[in-house]
């Protein structure tokens, strides 16, 4: 198998695992609330930490990977850490009471946040290293679709496992993820990546992205942040459907899984649109569509309208990988792409996704608005920035 095919196979499997586990986590939240007695604010803090840690970890991963070129090892390490954290999320409630459970879940949340910070900046760089310029958009789109397949297959499997065998059985999926990570290591074992000679990177330098690169990426990072904030409501969709729209648990889980699965079409569609119409046009369509549909979800009380809007929201929400990182590809040289991706994705997209649960949890407090609806509307309003700021992004080097 050629190196470009191996890179696509390995990164696609990694995307499947990474996004599949990410999609499974929110299915635990209704169980935490109903069966384990945790508060919505505690769940909001867990979701915040998962994404906030990426702001620190992603630049470290990006800088070290750009210097060392050990993309295979870093990719596998991140997936293994993530899988252990996800297994802890599944089984902890079976052994611990609510107070001890919160403490232990915080530890596993840190592992999930750290492990989940590796894939996106690394995956795009691996593909760019082995695919031609004229084909990179298609490769990113196919890779993104693998992530979408993971987002639908693993949550659907988890929904059945939770319904039939309770939450701890979901740890089986974490076990399969470990096996998948080992398969990725084997596929990429002999693939070599060219690395530009650089000076050694200290811990301090790794934590602080290059200032020049940070300035160049700043407009796109702000767009990515505001986009991450309005798409950051996705982990709360199962809870929202149960508490606000009064769906039963299994129906809410399946609809949530369908939302994630629509991304299979989304990544291919927007990857194609990016190649034909340009990255700015494709990103504008994606951001504007997502904001409008989120307003519909938050303001409609018709179950059929909500169901349709939730599914369409998935179409726009999961186009970020080919669009944002495709723009990073156009704006950077190879030896700085992982660092740039970690800024735009880790600080931008995940930073916005970290703020979203804080906004939702705060506005849902009894002395505030007392409902998840207010947080969804606020996220959509802030998401408008992701549309109006796109003209200020320079889409080339």
226-268 pLDDT per residue, tens:
999 999 898 899 899 998 988 887 888 888 888 887 877 877 7
Q: How far apart are CA 19 and CA 176, in angstroms?
A: 14
Q: How far apart are CA 48 and CA 63, in angstroms?
A: 24
Q: How far apart are CA 103 and CA 145, in angstroms?
A: 35
pTM score: 0.78
Domains located in the chain, CATH noted: 3-189+208-392 (1.20.1250.20)
Per-residue confidence (pLDDT) for residue 367, from 0 to 100: 83
344-364 pLDDT per residue, tens:
877 888 889 889 999 998 998
Q: How far apart are CA 187 and CA 7, in angstroms?
A: 8
Half-sphere exposure of 366 (CA within 13 A, CB side): 1
Q: How far apart are CA 54 and CA 62, in angstroms?
A: 11
Residues of the chain with pLDDT under 70: 66-69, 98, 133-134, 193-210, 321, 395-397
């Amino acid at each position: 198998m050629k190196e470009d095919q191996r890179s696509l196979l390995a990164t696609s499997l990694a995307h499947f695992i990474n996004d599949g586990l990410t999609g499974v986590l929110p299915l635990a939240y209704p169980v935490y609330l109903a069966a384990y007695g945790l508060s919505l604010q505690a769940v909001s803090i867990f979701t915040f930490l998962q994404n906030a840690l990426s702001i620190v970890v992603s630049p470290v991963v990006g800088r070290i990977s750009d210097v060392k070129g050990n993309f295979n090892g870093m990719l596998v390490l991140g997936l293994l850490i993530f899988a252990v954290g996800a297994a802890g999320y599944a089984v902890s409630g079976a052994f611990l009471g609510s107070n001890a459970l919160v403490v232990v879940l915080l530890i596993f949340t840190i592992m999930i946040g750290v492990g989940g910070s590796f894939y996106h900046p690394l995956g795009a760089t691996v593909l760019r290293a082995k695919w031609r310029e004229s084909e990179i958009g298609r490769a990113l789109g196919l890779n993104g679709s693998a992530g979408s397949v993971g987002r639908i297959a693993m949550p659907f499997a988890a929904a059945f496992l939770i319904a039939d065998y309770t939450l701890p059985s979901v740890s089986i999926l974490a076990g399969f993820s470990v096996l998948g990570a080992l398969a990725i290591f084997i596929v990429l074992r002999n693939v070599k990546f060219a690395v530009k000679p650089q000076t050694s990177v200290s811990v301090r330098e790794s934590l602080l992205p290059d200032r020049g690169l940070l300035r160049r990426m700043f407009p796109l990072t702000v767009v990515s942040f505001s986009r991450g904030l309005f798409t950051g409501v996705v982990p709360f969709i199962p809870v929202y459907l149960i508490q606000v729209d009064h769906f039963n648990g299994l129906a809410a889980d399946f609809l949530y899984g369908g939302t994630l699965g629509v991304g299979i079409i989304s990544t291919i569609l927007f990857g194609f649109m990016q190649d034909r119409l340009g990255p700015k046009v494709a990103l504008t369509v994606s951001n504007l569509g997502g904001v409008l549909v989120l307003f519909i979800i938050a303001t409609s009380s018709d179950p059929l309208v909500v169901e349709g809007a939730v599914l369409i929201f998935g179409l726009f929400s999961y186009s970020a990988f080919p669009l944002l990182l495709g723009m990073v590809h156009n704006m950077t040289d190879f030896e700085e792409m992982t660092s740039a991706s970690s800024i735009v994705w880790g600080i931008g997209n995940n930073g916005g996704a970290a703020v979203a649960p804080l906004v939702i949890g705060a506005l849902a407090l009894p002395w505030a608005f007392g409902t998840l609806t207010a947080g969804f509307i606020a996220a959509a309003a802030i998401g408008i920035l992701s549309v109006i700021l796109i003209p200020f992004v320079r889409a080339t080097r």
